[in-house]
Amino acid sequence: MLEVKGITKSFGDFNVLSDISFQAEEGEIYGLIGYNGVGKTTLLKMMCGIYRPDAGEIRIQDQLVYEHADIKRQCFFMTEESTHFHQASLKQMQKFYRGYYPDWNDQTFQNLVNLLGMNTGMKISRFSKGMQRQAGLILAFSSRAKYLFLDEAFDGLDVTMRQLMKDMICFYARKEQALVVVSSHNLLELEHLADRIGMLNEGELIYNESLDWMHQHYCTCSFLLPDASADIGRLSAVILEQKEQEYTCVIEAPGDEARRRLNEIGAVVKEIRPIQLEEFFRKERREKNVDWEKVFE
């Protein structure tokens, strides 16, 4: 089990994370979301023992990660910067990681290289962005680590490769009973992959539940509101879009309760459906209303 308890992290005067706590189990795929600069990568680096928390503790198998090298050897952290040396090829990185990870598997490495058609002798830095991401994933899965921390796992991948990687992550987590923590700005991919979602906002973990829980407690509604004097505030909704009398909003309630509220204010309901992850993200993010005429005056 991964246990994150009361984690706080600052860099100088800038507070990145405050009092973050959650648990995740082996065999689980945990999706981590949040806007740019909110601290996702910092949290991942602390979970695998690269950074030391300023306060709180992170344990894997009841051991403090930062203090135990043997636990770190069960963790693989993937970003564009951290999976390979600048001048190294895949073959050279295979040799490097083979000496670090006790369960490294050369056969898995070769199978994935063949599957993806990768050139193991070429410098990884010469690969395209998508191919560099594939190289990182090959190294991650070949490590056979029990805990994978994948930062922007789908960045640069085309639609076919994203589906292949989702299938691979699902299979690996179940077969190896591995915990896979995936951060991504591609919310559609995470929605069809993660067992549970954690959302960071302004340094705090504001959501830590399954997508089923989200669907049970929130819905997205599209409706017309002919009466301009109707009190839309009675919906307790967050408006995502508005065009004249037509609204799309998120209501924190099951579908039947949302319909009752809409009927009470005289709305003409067009659609009520389970909320999507992207819509939940927008609800929490509270997008800015921008006057584009002023921006481009």
- The mean pLDDT value of the chain amounts to 92
Predicted confidence at residue 286, as pLDDT, reads 67
Q: Which residues pair with 246 in a beta bridge?
A: 224, 243
**Checking DSSP bridges between strand 196-201 and strand 29-33, what pairing results, if any?**
parallel
Q: How many CB atoms are located within 10 Å of the residue 73 CB? A: 17
What is the C-alpha end-to-end distance of the chain, expressed in Å?
55
- Let me know if domain 214-295 sits in CATH 3.30.70: yes
Nearest to 252 by CA among 279, 230, 229: 279
Q: Which tens digit of pLDDT belongs to each residue from 33-89?
A: 998 889 999 999 999 999 999 999 999 999 999 999 999 999 999 986 667 888 899
How is 200-242 classified by DSSP, letter by letter?
Answer: EETTEEEEEEEHHHHHHH-EEEEEE---TTS-GGGG-EEEEEE
How is 146-211 classified by DSSP, letter by letter?
Answer: SEEEEETTTTT--HHHHHHHHHHHHHHHHHHT-EEEEE-S-HHHHHTT-SEEEEEETTEEEEEEEH
Q: Which tens digit of pLDDT belongs to each residue from 181-199?
A: 999 888 988 998 999 999 9
Nearest to 263 by CA among 273, 252, 272: 272
CATH class of 2-209: alpha beta
Question: What are the domain boundaries of the chain?
Answer: 2-209, 214-295
Q: In whole angstroms, what is the distance from residue 290 CA to residue 212 CA?
A: 33
Nearest to 253 by CA among 275, 283, 281: 275
Q: Which tens digit of pLDDT belongs to each residue from 63-77?
A: 999 999 999 999 999
**Checking DSSP bridges between strand 2-11 and strand 246-251, what pairing results, if any?**
unpaired
Angle at 85 between CA 48 and CA 111, to 5 degrees: 80
> Which one of 95-109, 124-138, 179-193 scores highest in mean pLDDT?
95-109
